[in-house]
Chain A
Amino acid sequence: MEKLLIAEFQNEYDLVDSVKAVRAADIDVIDAYTPYAVHGLDKAMDLKPSRLTQICFTFAFIGLLVGVLGQYWVSAVNWPINIGGRPWNSLPAFMPVAFEVIILFAGLGTVFSFFAWRRVKHGKPGLQPSLRATNDRFYIVMKQGQHRKSATSVTEIVTAHHGKMVEN
């Protein structure tokens, strides 16, 4: 396996600037580890938008169908009950329940899709360069690019942005 390069930073601004500089020098940034979500990092790393939103929408739509059709089946087909003389198939009355079912499906569906997608399971060890990535330090993990042209070394770029290389 290829050797990975890890750099450590004191704050988010250095991290984002450094990611930009490192990428400009044809080095692949594999991932960044930060204690919290850093604004602008996704743009600097050129990450594609997550497709989790589409999964969420799909589940919500299934939830809508289940909510409306389920209630229709219950109150108009299987066991019609006359409530205040209203028609059995009363859409306004179905709406609140359908709304809740949408939220249930969208919420649980998105979370479990995420778990399945990233293969998260109980007891899986956390993957991070250092435990301080969850507290007060910022890390980027890099790999030498295949077609590297720039001559500047990674260490030079990182030290120029007030960071230091970490042995691994």
Chain B
Amino acid sequence: MNEKNFIIDPSLFKKLTMATAVGLITIIIGVFASERIWPNILLAANYITGIGFTGMLFVAILYVSNAGWGVAIRRIPEAMFSALSVGFILMLLVLLGVHHLYEWSHPGVMVNDPILQGKEPWLNLPSFILRVPIYFGIWFLLGKPILNHSRKQDESGDPEHKQKSIRWSAAWLYIGGIAFIISSFDWIMSIEPHWYSTIFGLYNFSGVFNSGLAFMIILLIYLRRIGYIKVLKNDHLYELARYLFAFTTFWVYIWFSQHMLIWYANIPEETGYYLKRHAGAFGVLTVINILMNWLIPFTILLFRKSKRTEKPLLIASSIVLIGHWTDLYLMIFPPLIGETPIFGLLEIGVVIGIMGVTLWVVLRSLSKWNLVPIKDPYLEESIHLHT
């Protein structure tokens, strides 16, 4: 193995720091200037948490399924896991603006509303605040041993580390997955506390997994272009692209399941959610959302050749990344900002900040360890992947 370790290029580092600073300044100005900053911070928190969540999810799936093909690229999702810490900080920031986001957090509203009274045991401020560190604690504490075993194996080469990782991964998938579903109920669905959908957590998950895969594909292609991770073959990208292809379809399947059941049952307290999102300019955005999260990437990735070629893969992945932002925007913003979608300086600043800080954290974490798990027993199998 002659993989060199990853070193962040100083000029890139400078750009990422500047982007992060732009996001930070936007947030600071926004907190004092506009209420619209709070949904933006919530969106950023969910987006970045999603990237980190997918990182460990992907690693855990590799372990649990005893897959050999992904070992050579495993350090990239492992590095993505570090984005979770940024998500945590942003989520703590959201807690400061709870009253701007969640109707149920106002005691006055709560008292006069019998439906919200019934939800009070779950939707109250102390338990909401307490649950944020619990979710992140589950993801961190169950995920950290998996990272540690992977890194220790680089030194000792002991296959026992892999066996232990498999057990931790199973626990992470089960408990971490449930935590993710409940966290989406908490953070996003409770913005409209009268509305509920049992599939909502799964719906959020499908979008999150898409965005994480797209991020991983873009990062891998970028690393190969600047001369790192030479073990990466088009076959690895092909496997990831198939994942992305399948999960874009999964996303629209879940989106449609939620939409059709609510349309079919036609109960007023449920249809309100879609009436807001299908009227006027938000309706246009809903159509764009489906195009970007499903139809365009699906059509591009339908062909075997485009799953194995850098350019179409980059295009499809970028569209999915933007699409996931739109998806979260449509989940969070409509009840909070009135009838027309706004994409102003605040949104642009926060988006730049998201990109900057995510890449900054992930690349920094990537530079700390070997770029390839050099002593993993399945490494050879992964390098000789045929598809």
Contact = CB atoms under 8 A, between A and B. Distances in A.
Given A49-B304, A84-B266, A95 B386 contact: no
Contacts of A40: 386
A95 B290 CA distance: 15
Interface stretch (B97-105, B147-155, B256-264): B256-264
Nearest to A43: B386
Contacts of A95: 256, 260
Q: How large is the interface on B (under 10, 10 to 19, 20 to 34, 35 or more residues)?
A: under 10
Interface residues of A, number: 9
B2 interface: no
A95 B304 CA distance: 27
B156 interface: no
Chain B interface SS verdict (over half): helix
Contact of B263 (A39, A49, A92): A92
A117 to B, nearest CB: 20
B112 interface: no
B65 interface: no
A145 interface: no
B285 to A, nearest CB: 19
A101 B256 CA distance: 17
Contact of A92 (B260, B304, B387): B260
Contacts of A93: 260, 264
Nearest to B262: A92
A39 B386 contact: yes
Contacts of A96: 260
Nearest to B304: A49
B259 A92 contact: yes
Nearest to B261: A92
A43 B387 CA distance: 10
A100 B304 CA distance: 25
Nearest to B385: A39
Interface string A36-75: 0001100100000100000000000000000000000000
B259 A39 contact: no
Nearest to B260: A92
Contacts of B266: 84
Contacts of B259: 92
Contacts of A49: 304
A37 to B, nearest CB: 11
Contacts of B304: 49
Given A43-B386, A49-B304, 6 more contacts: A92-B256, A92-B260, A92-B263, A92-B264, A93-B260, A96-B260
